[in-house]
């Protein structure tokens, strides 16, 4: 008896994988049904659906990068404190002190790559007409996931608290004060006046809500940190679950039903 | 990038040498493909020769010969490039690509274009200004974006051309011949595993080779010039040249998101579901490609690589001079109308009277054009889509078109605002 067969016959192995190795057709079906992670997939797919030049693999890579970002992000949280006193120095020591310090590089380049791959995924889905019925709703979920990805990247951009970070966020968030009605320099904001008192001013508008202040400061750092590490990833994870579920329920990755 | 004697630095030359060596290998591969797969003698000879040329370049840089890019070429490129020529050339290139897609996607043609780009890109890196902006760590993803979008656009168009030819012959598209089902284990899970391994490798190498940027600690006193948003928003930041923040930063992005979400509900064309085709979806694909490639990617490249201090335009080989002076002499529509048209002053007028001409144009654009289109050129759309869908489609396209329209008005008439009501921050 080979060592592989011996291991596969132990009680421990059999308790984890409750069927023989997926070498014949029956067990290749069973493996997909008895494993919660593999169960994200159907048992069988159309040949066109796994042709690399057709799918470009971009949706899968985007999800993989999301996982990379989650793992490296959790590890980065061990080293990083979102306060004016510590933020920059923590990043500095992450670069200079930490052994094999490529954690931040993995996280940052993974994030940039994820922005690109999600665009390319969307590009492929459009060009193959895969948003057409019955997948209209899932395309909409995908658009929200696109926005969440950009917001995740945007909120993360601030955290190193260097010149690159705060000015990029300042430029980006300055747009919010021009929001129609809700921003104090937006069209229509001046119409919201009660008894001569402006309702929308720089201390109450959309930009203030985003930054937690009139400029990018410590409250902004905390706000972006919480959004980046908790709120946005949770929302993204939830919608990814819906997205994958609907891919299966809508009859695979593309093609008319 | 240059040492004190004005020579190219050794590390840069090694980099360019390795780059050209890689391109040499690519051409050796392509020549081998022509020889063994296509059995095309002429093409084999051509690409072997090209491989030799690239090998010469590679050897020259590795031997530290320090070939710079031809200076008159640098000056010519800088001289020709400005926001107008850049965008107009992009639009012309895009229309040619769509129109001549059959020829442009021929592997030999596409390969020639790629090789030309790589050859020029390598030489351009010898220019200090160009290489400084390209190798900025956060700009590296954009180079990846350019090449991946370029490659995948070629791939998709190629598949469309092939499928369209099949449809013309009455055959089903290629994808429909692969309807047969295969088991996910092993065919899909192994592909996923390999993809994950490759991505992990790429990411680790990238992380080791290129350090994440960390600049000076944040300071609200020292404002960098230029101040740029993260690269994926630079297309929007570029729109600030033509629109106020409420349009460029809020309304148009909102319309992009809304438009994308509405897309499956306004595209009534049932064909082209699950296979690449151009001829069955001409309108949808042309519009989307124009939006994604020209209005999104091309503007990101413009905003990142070609916009310097004070958001002035700089050619790819031009030094970013913070004192570059570009005269701004843009005029509002109300000035044109009242001052030049009637010779009357505009200060004394109530804003509503003053801006009546601009408001009239906006009204015509948004309220009169859609029904006219429904009656004339887009009658077929209107009948098949119904009122609501048609209005949403036309409104979305109008907002998308508002950017190129405003660009042309700015370039041709120096028009600043069509409607200018600073009293209410309502400038269009």
A contact test, residue of B203, B262, B426 with most A CBs within 10 A: B203
Taking CB atoms and an 8 Å limit, are A171 and B227 in contact across chains? yes
Task: Say if A187 falls within a structural domain.
Answer: no
Q: Which residue of B has its CA nearest to A132?
A: B264
Taking CB atoms and an 8 Å limit, are A112 and B138 in contact across chains? yes
Taking CB atoms and an 8 Å limit, are A178 and B244 in contact across chains? yes
My answer on whether A40 and A4 are in the same domain is yes
Q: Which residue of B has its CA nearest to A44?
A: B183
**ipTM of the shown complex:** 0.94
pLDDT at B4: 46
Task: Say if A179 falls within a structural domain.
Answer: no
Work out the minimum CA distance from B339 to partner chain A, whole angstroms.
Answer: 26
SS3 A228: helix
My answer on whether A151 and A34 are in the same domain is no
Task: Say if A2 falls within a structural domain.
Answer: yes
Residues of B in contact with A21 (CB under 8 A): none
Q: Rounded to 5 degrees, what angle do the CA atoms A50, B282, B176 make? A: 30
- Rounded mean pLDDT for each run of 10 residues along chain A, 257 residues in total: 87 89 91 90 90 94 97 95 95 84 93 97 96 95 98 96 94 91 87 83 90 93 97 98 94 81
Task: Say if A182 falls within a structural domain.
Answer: no
My answer on whether A64 and A114 are in the same domain is yes
Structure tokens at A123: 């590009």
A contact test, residue of B147, B249, B259, B270 with most A CBs within 10 A: B249
Residue B5: pLDDT above 70? no
Residue B379: pLDDT above 50? yes
Q: What is the pTM of this model?
A: 0.95
Task: Say if A114 falls within a structural domain.
Answer: yes
My answer on whether A54 and A150 are in the same domain is yes
Taking CB atoms and an 8 Å limit, are B245 and A31 in contact across chains? no
pLDDT at A196: 81
Which tens digit of pLDDT belongs to each residue from B142-171? 999 999 999 999 999 999 999 999 999 999
Q: Which residue of B has its CA nearest to A148?
A: B257
CA atoms within 13 A on the CB side of B360: 8
Which tens digit of pLDDT belongs to each residue from B68-96? 888 899 999 999 999 999 999 999 999 99
Q: Is the Cβ of A228 closer than 8 Å to some Cβ of chain B?
A: no
Work out the minimum CA distance from B276 to partner chain A, whole angstroms.
Answer: 5
Residue B3: pLDDT above 90? no
Taking CB atoms and an 8 Å limit, are A47 and B203 in contact across chains? no
pLDDT band at B2 (very low <50, low <70, confident <90, very high): low
My answer on whether A233 and A115 are in the same domain is yes
Q: Which of A163, A174, A180 sits opposite B215 (nearest CB)?
A: A163
Which tens digit of pLDDT belongs to each residue from B10-47? 888 999 999 999 999 999 999 999 999 999 999 999 99
Q: Is the Cβ of B412 closer than 8 Å to some Cβ of chain A?
A: no
My answer on whether A60 and A28 are in the same domain is no
Q: Is the Cβ of A151 closer than 8 Å to some Cβ of chain B?
A: no
My answer on whether A100 and A25 are in the same domain is no
Q: Which residue of A has its CA nearest to B186?
A: A28
**CA-to-CA separations, B236 to B240, B241, B268, in angstroms, rounded:** 7, 10, 29
Work out the minimum CA distance from A35 to partner chain B, whole angstroms.
Answer: 12
Question: Which structural domain range is residue A63 located in?
Answer: 50-164+215-249
Q: Which residue has the tokens 């510590």?
A: A86
Structure tokens at A241: 């679950």
My answer on whether A61 and A2 are in the same domain is no
Measured between alpha carbons, how far is B102 from B168 in angstroms, rounded to an integer? Answer: 14
Taking CB atoms and an 8 Å limit, are A120 and B149 in contact across chains? yes
Taking CB atoms and an 8 Å limit, are B227 and A29 in contact across chains? no
- Cβ within 8 Å of B, A 90-149: 91-92, 95, 102, 104-106, 108-110, 112-113, 115-116, 119-120, 122-124, 126-133, 135-136, 139-140, 143-144, 146-147
Domain count, chain A: 2
Work out the minimum CA distance from B263 to partner chain A, whole angstroms.
Answer: 8
Q: Which of the listed ranges A2-16, B212-226, B398-412 does the model predict with the highest average pLDDT? A: B398-412
Taking CB atoms and an 8 Å limit, are B152 and A123 in contact across chains? yes
Work out the minimum CA distance from A209 to partner chain B, whole angstroms.
Answer: 15
How far the first Cα of chain B sits from its last, in Å, is: 43
Contact between B207 and A65 under an 8 Å Cβ cutoff? The reply is no
pLDDT at B315: 93
Structure tokens at A70: 């989650």
Q: H/E element holding B181?
A: strand B181-183
**CA-to-CA separations, B408 to A179, B333, B416, in angstroms, rounded:** 26, 14, 11
Task: Say if A254 falls within a structural domain.
Answer: no
Task: Say if A191 falls within a structural domain.
Answer: no
Name the average pLDDT for chain B.
Answer: 92
**Checking DSSP bridges between strand B181-183 and strand A44-46, what pairing results, if any?**
antiparallel
**CA-to-CA separations, A89 to A69, A73, A167, B204, B215, in angstroms, rounded:** 22, 18, 18, 24, 12
Work out the minimum CA distance from B95 to partner chain A, whole angstroms.
Answer: 17
Residues of A in contact with B195 (CB under 8 A): 57, 60-61, 64
Residue B221: pLDDT above 90? no
Name, in order, each residue with C-beta under 8 angstroms of B398's C-beta and a sequence gap of 6 or more.
Answer: B365, B366, B369, B370
My answer on whether A15 and A141 are in the same domain is no
Measured between alpha carbons, how far is B290 from B296 in angstroms, rounded to an integer? Answer: 9
Contact between B69 and B126 under an 8 Å Cβ cutoff? The reply is yes
Which CATH number do you get for residue A231?
1.20.810.10
Alpha-carbon dihedral angle through residues A5, A6, A7, A13, given to the nearest 10 degrees: 90
Q: Is the Cβ of B185 closer than 8 Å to some Cβ of chain A?
A: yes
Taking CB atoms and an 8 Å limit, are A61 and B195 in contact across chains? yes
More confident residue, B265 or B326: B265
Measured between alpha carbons, how far is B119 from B27 in angstroms, rounded to an integer? Answer: 12
How far the first Cα of chain A sits from its last, in Å, is: 48
Q: Is the Cβ of B228 closer than 8 Å to some Cβ of chain A?
A: yes
* Chain Cα centroid distance, residue A64: 10
Work out the minimum CA distance from A77 to partner chain B, whole angstroms.
Answer: 17
pLDDT at B338: 85
Q: Which residue of B has its CA nearest to A64?
A: B196
The dihedral sign for the CA sequence A118, A121, A126, A130: negative
Name, in order, each residue with C-beta under 8 angstroms of B286's C-beta and a sequence gap of 6 or more.
Answer: B98
B contact test, residue of A34, A145, A175, A188 with most B CBs within 10 A: A175
Measured between alpha carbons, how far is A2 from B199 in angstroms, rounded to an integer? Answer: 34
Q: Is the Cβ of A249 closer than 8 Å to some Cβ of chain B?
A: no
- pLDDT-wise least confident of A118-122, B93-97, B132-136, B328-332: B328-332
Measured between alpha carbons, how far is B119 from B26 in angstroms, rounded to an integer? Answer: 12
Contact between B419 and B351 under an 8 Å Cβ cutoff? The reply is no
Residues of A in contact with B183 (CB under 8 A): 25, 28-29, 32, 43-44
Which tens digit of pLDDT belongs to each residue from A78-133? 999 999 999 999 999 988 887 777 999 999 999 999 999 999 999 999 999 999 99
Structure tokens at B142: 């954009």
- Cβ within 8 Å of A, B 24-83: none
Q: Which of the listed ranges A180-194, B94-108, B208-222 does the model predict with the highest average pLDDT? A: B94-108
CA atoms within 13 A on the CB side of B76: 5
Contact between B278 and B173 under an 8 Å Cβ cutoff? The reply is no
My answer on whether A235 and A117 are in the same domain is yes
pLDDT at B7: 67
- A42: exposed, middle or buried (Cβ count in 10 Å: 0-12, 13-18, 19+): middle
pLDDT at B6: 57
Task: Say if A243 falls within a structural domain.
Answer: yes
Residues of B in contact with A104 (CB under 8 A): 212
My answer on whether A29 and A117 are in the same domain is no
For chain A, percent helix, then strand, then coil, each to nearest 5? 65, 5, 30
My answer on whether A87 and A153 are in the same domain is yes
């Amino acid at each position: 008896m080979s060592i592989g067969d011996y291991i596969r016959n132990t009680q421990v192995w059999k308790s984890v994988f409750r069927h023989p190795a997926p070498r014949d057709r029956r067990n290749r079906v069973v493996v997909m049904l008895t494993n919660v992670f593999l169960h994200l997939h159907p048992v069988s797919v159309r040949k066109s659906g796994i042709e690399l030049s057709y799918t470009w693999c971009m949706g899968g890579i985007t999800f993989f990068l999301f996982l990379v970002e989650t793992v490296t992000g959790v590890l980065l949280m061990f080293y990083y404190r979102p306060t004016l006193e510590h933020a920059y120095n923590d990043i500095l020591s992450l670069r200079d002190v930490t052994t094999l310090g490529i954690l931040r590089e993995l996280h940052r380049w993974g994030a940039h790559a994820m922005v690109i791959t999600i665009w390319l995924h969307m590009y492929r889905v459009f060009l193959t007409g895969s948003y057409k019925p019955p997948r209209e709703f899932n395309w909409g979920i995908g658009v929200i996931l696109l926005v969440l990805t950009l917001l995740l990247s945007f909120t993360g951009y601030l955290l190193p608290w260097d010149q690159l970070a705060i000015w990029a966020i300042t430029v980006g968030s300055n747009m919010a004060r021009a929001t129609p009605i809700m921003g104090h320099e937006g069209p229509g904001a001046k119409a919201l006046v009660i008894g001569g008192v402006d309702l929308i001013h720089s201390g109450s508008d959309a930009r203030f809500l985003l930054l937690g202040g009139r400029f990018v400061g410590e409250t902004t750092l905390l706000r972006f940190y919480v959004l980046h590490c908790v709120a946005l990833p949770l929302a993204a994870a939830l919608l990814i679950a819906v997205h994958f579920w609907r891919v299966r329920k809508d009859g695979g990755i593309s093609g008319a039903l | 990038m240059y040492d004190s004697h004005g020579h190219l630095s050794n590390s840069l030359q090694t980099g360019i040498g390795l780059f050209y060596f890689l391109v040499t290998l690519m051409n050796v591969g392509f020549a081998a493909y022509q020889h063994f797969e296509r059995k095309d003698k002429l093409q084999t000879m051509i690409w072997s020769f090209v491989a030799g040329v690239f090998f010469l370049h590679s050897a020259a840089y590795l031997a530290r010969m320090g070939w710079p890019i031809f200076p008159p070429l640098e000056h010519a490129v800088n001289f020709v490039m400005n926001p107008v020529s850049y965008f107009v050339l992009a639009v012309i290139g895009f229309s040619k690509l769509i129109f001549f897609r059959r020829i442009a996607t021929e592997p030999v043609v596409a390969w020639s274009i790629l090789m030309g780009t790589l050859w020029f890109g390598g030489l351009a890196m010898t220019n200090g200004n160009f290489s400084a902006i390209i190798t900025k760590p956060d700009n590296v993803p954009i180079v990846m974006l350019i090449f991946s979008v370029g490659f995948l656009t070629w791939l998709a168009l190629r598949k469309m051309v092939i499928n369209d030819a099949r449809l013309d012959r009455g055959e089903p598209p290629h994808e429909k011949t692969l309807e047969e089902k295969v088991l996910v284990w092993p065919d899909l899970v192994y592909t996923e595993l390999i993809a994950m391994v490759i991505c992990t490798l790429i990411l680790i190498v990238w992380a080791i080779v290129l350090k994440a940027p960390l600049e000076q600690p944040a300071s609200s006193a020292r404002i960098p010039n230029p101040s740029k948003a993260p690269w994926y928003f630079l297309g929007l930041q570029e729109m600030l040249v033509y629109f106020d923040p409420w349009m460029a930063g809020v309304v148009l992005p909102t319309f992009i998101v809304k438009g994308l979400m509405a897309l499956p509900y306004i595209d009534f064309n049932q064909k082209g579901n699950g296979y690449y085709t151009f001829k069955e979806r001409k309108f949808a694909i042309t519009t989307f490609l124009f939006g994604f490639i020209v209005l999104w990617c091309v503007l990101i490249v413009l905003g990142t690589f070609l916009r310097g201090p004070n958001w002035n335009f700089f050619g790819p080989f031009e030094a970013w001079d913070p004192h570059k002076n570009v005269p701004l002499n843009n005029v509002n529509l109300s000035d044109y109308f009242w001052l030049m048209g009637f010779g009357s002053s505009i200060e004394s007028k109530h804003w509503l009277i003053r801006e009546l001409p601009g408001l009239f144009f906006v009204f015509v654009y948004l309220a009169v054009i859609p029904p006219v289109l429904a009656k004339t050129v887009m009658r077929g759309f209107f009948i098949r889509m119904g009122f609501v869908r048609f209005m949403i489609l036309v409104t979305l396209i109008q907002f998308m078109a508002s950017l190129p329209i405003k660009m042309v008005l700015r370039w041709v008439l120096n028009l600043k605002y069509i409607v200018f009501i600073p009293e209410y921050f309502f400038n269009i």
